[in-house]
A and B are shown apart, each in its own frame.
Chain A
Amino acid sequence: MKPGTLSKALKSGAIWGFIVLELIFFSIAGEYLSLSDKAFMDWENMLLLLKQSAPIGIIAMGMTIVMINGNIDLSVGATYAIAAIVLLESMTWPIFAGLGDMVIPVAWLLALLVGTCLGALNGLIVWKTGVDAFIVTLGSMLGFRGIVFMFNGENPTSHLNWTLVDFAEAEFLSLATASWFLLAVTLVIWFVMAKTVHGRNAYAIGDNREAAVNAGIRVGPHMMVNFAIIGFLAALSAVVFYSESGSVNPNDGQLYELWVITAVVLGGTKITGGAGSVIGTFGGVIAIQLLRKGLGHIGADTSTVNLVIGLILIVVLILDRQLNVKGKEELKV
């Protein structure tokens, strides 16, 4: 066995081990502490869990690419809110009045287009100005949120289209629409990252940008595409969620970026870029949702959830450090 193989296996499997631990813990603890008679590992409950993971999960897939690329996107929460408002508003616009239910695909496309453009705008700025993605998206997080308010004032936007609600609440093979979207996005992004040139380039750029440039990869356009993808996915997440709920507040999606980054980091993606996996991120998303649901199941409130997730993130970081081959770091100290 090559050195490092064990630690690598431990790391990539860690998130699934953690999920199993969570399931066991909450099942046992639930027997004694839960107010409801239902078991935690109830089939219905697990399906619901998958559905509830969808909004964060869909965005997290985009964040995985962007972070493997060595960038970060803090503006996803605001993009999410803009897309939601575009979706709900555009269905009431007079120009689309004659379309009947055909307004739905038009509104979807419009919302997705807006999300993609906003993401691409971030990417373009990162590419052309050379300003760090953290700063660019920190700025656009504020800017996009400002646009939401300018668009919408401070009131919620509501529009219920029953055909759309039926679609969003539909179940196929006992999985909800949102779950299907999450699974499909995971599959597509996994394929892109594992099997295509674009995916390999993403790892190469995150690992060593200079080397990637020298190897002839067009780093700028590549990063822009990835930002467009995360913008698209933030919009898709909004579209899926708000089709069902039909009402959006201008502050919706706030702190989503933090939840998403937490899920991606738990899933083993390096914040410095060059390493990470889509499947790991999926595990991270499930682990977080399981924790929220599980703690709720045994009667803990949101404060405990926040506390526990924050501490777990730090513990994961410490463990990750211990498991890493230390050679490179030792030289620095």
Chain B
Amino acid sequence: MATLTKQQIGTVLAKQGILIAFAVFMVAFTLANSKFISVDNLFSVVRSSAILGVMALGVTFVVISGNLDLSVGSMMSFSTIVVLDLHDQIGPALAIPAMFAMTLSLGAFIGFLVGYLRLNSLIVTLGMLSAIHGLTLTYSGGQNMDIADKEGTWFSVFGQGSALGIPVPILIFVALAALLGVVLAKTPFGRKVYAVGGNGTAATFSGIRRARTVFACYIISAFCVATAGLIQASRSLGSQNTVGQGLELEVLAAVILGGASLLGGSGTIFKTVIGVLILGFIQNGLLLIGLQFYVQFVVTWVIIILAVWLDIAAKRGKLLSSIA
């Protein structure tokens, strides 16, 4: 192996930049406050990131296929409200599959519009953000939704329970990440997702059914959203109509931070998980060293732009863009 040139080092740095940044963060925060690295704290960060994380897994598929999903926040509110309402009406055992069916049909609708009708995903999901919010408000009549008997239901297990000392939300997040990671990296379907996002025309000519692949990505996204809604509902056993508002952009931030390109064709589940954890640990670390929660917004801003910038800079081989 020849000696590494300066540029190669730069490329390596930029490619693994997100992992290096993550490591630097962890060390810095640990030095600032030794509680940061304790098991309790690590668990609490991952647990509070689980909802965002589960949604980010699905959005990763959508983004790799070259599309966007801005409706996941509203959709999460919808599934939370629906499952809480149905819980008291038909019992939890029926409420959960019913909620999944309803959320998946919303995902199928978006998938149909973007996949088969080839509409612009940004505008479609922007419209659905508003429409699903309206749907949720209509469904709930604008009221907060609460479970009548909060003590006597096993429904709380998804958000509050734990198995083998590990909180259930973390188990769900890890299991889903492992499953979807394998689907994306090791199956023909996963390769189709990359192909469609990388070059849709070429993918079509090589016999990949673009529409069907995009459709499937939105179904996966909706499934993840429904799971996130289930965790949210089960954790709080009561909810406002706007519980997921604004999450769509945080989710997207996590996915981008993980290095997925909005142009499609790149990104992995593992990197998205790292992106989610970075957001979670920044939030937690800043709170631990005594800063207000809103400082994380500013820090996230800087990190997102730096991460994407370095990624692009490594690809084009120089720091500044060549736009005149």
Contacts from A to B (Cβ < 8 Å): 74, 125, 127-132, 134-136, 138-147, 149-150, 213, 217-220, 223, 254-255, 258, 261-262, 265, 271-272, 301-314, 317-318, 321, 329, 332-333
A-B contacts, 20 of them at CB < 8 A, read A74-B249, A129-B320, A130-B320, A136-B305, A139-B304, A141-B249, A142-B253, A142-B300, A142-B301, A142-B304, A262-B127, A303-B134, A305-B134, A307-B130, A307-B138, A310-B133, A313-B127, A314-B131, A317-B119, A317-B120
**Closest partner residue, chain B, to A72 (CB atom):** B122
Chain B nearest CB: distance from A317 CB in Å?
Answer: 5
B113 contacts the other chain (CB 8 A): yes
The interface bits of chain B over 193-206 (1 if a CB of A lies within 8 angstroms of the residue's CB, else 0) are 00000001100100
B132 contacts the other chain (CB 8 A): yes
Chain A residues positioned under 8 Å from B249 (CB to CB): 74, 138, 141-142
Determine which of A146, A218, A311 lies in contact with B301 in the assembled complex, contact meaning CB atoms within 8 Å.
A146
**Closest partner residue, chain B, to A265 (CB atom):** B123
Chain A nearest CB: distance from B63 CB in Å?
Answer: 11
Find out whether the CB atom of B126 lies under 8 angstroms from the CB atom of A149: no
**Closest partner residue, chain B, to A333 (CB atom):** B204
The interface bits of chain B over 90-106 (1 if a CB of A lies within 8 angstroms of the residue's CB, else 0) are 00000000000000000
Contacts from B to A (Cβ < 8 Å): 113, 117-120, 122-124, 126-138, 142, 200-201, 204, 245-246, 249-250, 252-253, 256, 262-263, 292, 294-302, 304-305, 308-309, 312-313, 316, 320-324
Find out whether the CB atom of B131 lies under 8 angstroms from the CB atom of A310: yes
Chain A nearest CB: distance from B299 CB in Å?
Answer: 8
Knowing A142-B253, A143-B302, A254-B246 touch, does A130 contact B312 (C-beta < 8 A)?
yes
Knowing A142-B300, A307-B135, A317-B120 touch, does A131 contact B295 (C-beta < 8 A)?
no
Find out whether the CB atom of B292 lies under 8 angstroms from the CB atom of A150: yes
Query: Whole-angstrom distance between the alpha carbons of A312 and B127 in the complex?
Result: 8
Find out whether the CB atom of B298 lies under 8 angstroms from the CB atom of A147: yes
Find out whether the CB atom of A149 lies under 8 angstroms from the CB atom of B297: yes
Chain A nearest CB: distance from B304 CB in Å?
Answer: 4
Chain B residues positioned under 8 Å from A220 (CB to CB): 321, 323-324
Find out whether the CB atom of A310 lies under 8 angstroms from the CB atom of B308: no
Chain A residues positioned under 8 Å from B126 (CB to CB): 258, 261-262, 313
Find out whether the CB atom of A314 lies under 8 angstroms from the CB atom of B324: no
Determine which of B142, B294, B300, B322 lies in contact with A139 in the assembled complex, contact meaning CB atoms within 8 Å.
B300
Chain A nearest CB: distance from B37 CB in Å?
Answer: 26
A contact face: mostly helix, strand, loop, or mixed: helix
Q: Which of B128, B131, B320 has the most CB of A within 10 A?
A: B131
Determine which of B137, B256, B297 lies in contact with A146 in the assembled complex, contact meaning CB atoms within 8 Å.
B297
Find out whether the CB atom of B309 lies under 8 angstroms from the CB atom of A131: yes
Chain B residues positioned under 8 Å from A265 (CB to CB): 123
**Closest partner residue, chain B, to A150 (CB atom):** B294
**Closest partner residue, chain A, to B322 (CB atom):** A130
Chain A residues positioned under 8 Å from B299 (CB to CB): 146
Chain B residues positioned under 8 Å from A149 (CB to CB): 292, 294, 297
Chain A residues positioned under 8 Å from B122 (CB to CB): 271
Find out whether the CB atom of A258 lies under 8 angstroms from the CB atom of B134: no
Query: Whole-angstrom distance between the alpha carbons of A149 and B119 in the complex?
Result: 37
Query: Whole-angstrom distance between the alpha carbons of A141 and B297 in the complex?
Result: 9
Chain B nearest CB: distance from A307 CB in Å?
Answer: 3
Determine which of B127, B252, B294, B308 lies in contact with A311 in the assembled complex, contact meaning CB atoms within 8 Å.
B127
Query: Whole-angstrom distance between the alpha carbons of A304 and B129 in the complex?
Result: 13
Q: Which of A130, A136, A139, A312 has the most CB of B within 10 A?
A: A139
Chain A residues positioned under 8 Å from B136 (CB to CB): 303
Chain B residues positioned under 8 Å from A303 (CB to CB): 133-138, 142
Chain A nearest CB: distance from B308 CB in Å?
Answer: 5
Chain A residues positioned under 8 Å from B309 (CB to CB): 129-131
Find out whether the CB atom of B312 lies under 8 angstroms from the CB atom of A139: no
**Closest partner residue, chain B, to A315 (CB atom):** B127
Knowing A304-B134, A307-B134, A308-B134 touch, does A314 contact B127 (C-beta < 8 A)?
yes
Knowing A138-B304, A303-B134, A310-B130 touch, does A219 contact B323 (C-beta < 8 A)?
yes
Chain A residues positioned under 8 Å from B128 (CB to CB): 310, 314
Query: Whole-angstrom distance between the alpha carbons of A314 and B117 in the complex?
Result: 11
